[in-house]
Structure 1
Amino acid sequence: MPAKPLKTPTDLPRNATSTVAQALNTILADSYALYFKTKNFHWHVSGPHFRDYHLMFDEQAAQILATTDLIAERVRKTGNVTLRSIGDISRHQTLSDNDADFVSPRDMLTELREDNLRLVEAFRAAKQAATDAGDNATEGIIDDWTDQAETRAWFLFEAGRDS
């Protein structure tokens, strides 16, 4: 059953904000998937760079988790509904989970970097949807989230370089 429109006060057209909300809900699901994967790798990293990777993964996970509330609240401010459960997250996420018993530190760095770059692509697509909808507030806040994901990808890249 489709969600009933909320009576949230906004001057943005309902059909336009619905498109933006769909994009943001996918990003929200991917953010939770990336958060959990980053924490998984934080818990399971091993090897000579354990401390550095362990701390970096924890910092990145905290940053990702901090954006989830902002994303969901932006969806709600435009009169739309957001995700409600772990099942809802799994139905919307596009990033793959990693349930492997062992992942090498190098593979962790690579996988998280690629996932962050996919999130950057999703942010850019959502920004375009916000631009098309005339939703300048969403456009502006997405810039910050994009920069954060790009920075995480950069750190993961640099940490994985041989020289």
Structure 2
Amino acid sequence: MSTQKTVRQQADKVEENALRLDQEKAEQVVDALNTELANAYVLYHQLKKHHWVVEGAEFRDLHLFFEEAYEHAEVGADLIAERAQALGGVPVSGPSNLEDRATVEFEGEDVYDLRTMMENDLEIYGEIIESMRDSIELATNLGDHATGQILREILVDVEDDAHHFEHYLEDETLVLEDATH
């Protein structure tokens, strides 16, 4: 435990930034970024869970696919957190803070069949895509074109991963093993 007694910056305060974005605008953008950060970590943890519990005929491919997807989510989260900090904010962190802040919902601790897990993932991806589009529009409208660009680049990866989930969920995939043998 830290012995530091002085808080250098309160988590909910946005300070002046060297990027010269007006503080009121920066507060709005940091707020949006923290929502995106929380959403990214909910997705990350769900994908990580699915990486651990996936089984069946397509185990190896899907195990690796989930790993790649959660790594993408983590890289995006890191970029979002660094941008929030650059704008004078404090990136949301800690499990309860992330859960409270997220607009997407973790499926829970239970393990579902593979198709259900992937449908749950695709649902979160869809919600994140919509939220990120709103955050991009907000940042751009406030004159923060760099944040808009950073989020656009992350969105490309998010949409690409969602598209791959969609492919896995096609009717001819995710073979069910015959339990009678």
Q: Tell me the TM-score normalized by structure 2.
A: 0.84
- Mapping of 1:1-163 within 5 angstroms? 3-163=12-172
Aligned counterparts of 1:152 and 1:19: Cα–Cα separation in 2: 28
Residues 29 and 139 of structure 2 are in contact (CA less than 8 Å); yes or no, is this contact kept in structure 1?
yes
Paired with 1:5 and 1:63, the residues of 2 have a C-alpha distance of 27
Shift of 1:18: 1.0
Secondary structure of the 2:44 match is helix
The structure that is helix-richer by fraction is: 1
How far has the Cα of 1:41 moved from its partner?
A: 0.7
State the AA in 2 paired with 1:157. Answer: E
Q: Contact conserved, 1:39 with 1:61, CA < 8 A, in 2? A: yes
2:33 and 2:135 in contact (8 A); partners too: yes
Q: State the Cα RMSD in Å.
A: 1.5
The alpha carbon displacement at 1:102 in A equals: 2.4
SS across alignment from 1:157: helix
Q: Are 1:5 and 1:79, in contact at CA under 8 Å, matched by a contact in 2?
A: yes
Aligned equivalents of 1:60 and 1:67: distance in 2?
11
Structure 1 unaligned blocks of 5 or more: none
Give 1 or 2 for the bigger CA radius of gyration.
Answer: 2
Of all paired residues, the percent bearing the same amino acid is 30
1:2 to partner: Cα distance: 7.5
Higher relative contact order (CA 8 A, sep 6+): 1
Shift of 1:6: 2.1
User: CA offsets, 1:67-104, max 9 Å, x none?
Assistant: 11110110111112221321211110121112243211
Change (3 A) 1:5 1:30: closer
Deviation at 1:142, TM superposition (A): 1.0
AA partner of residue 147 (structure 2) = T
Judging changes above 3 Å, is the alpha-carbon distance between structure 1 residues 78 and 41 closer, same or farther for their aligned structure 2 residues? Answer: same
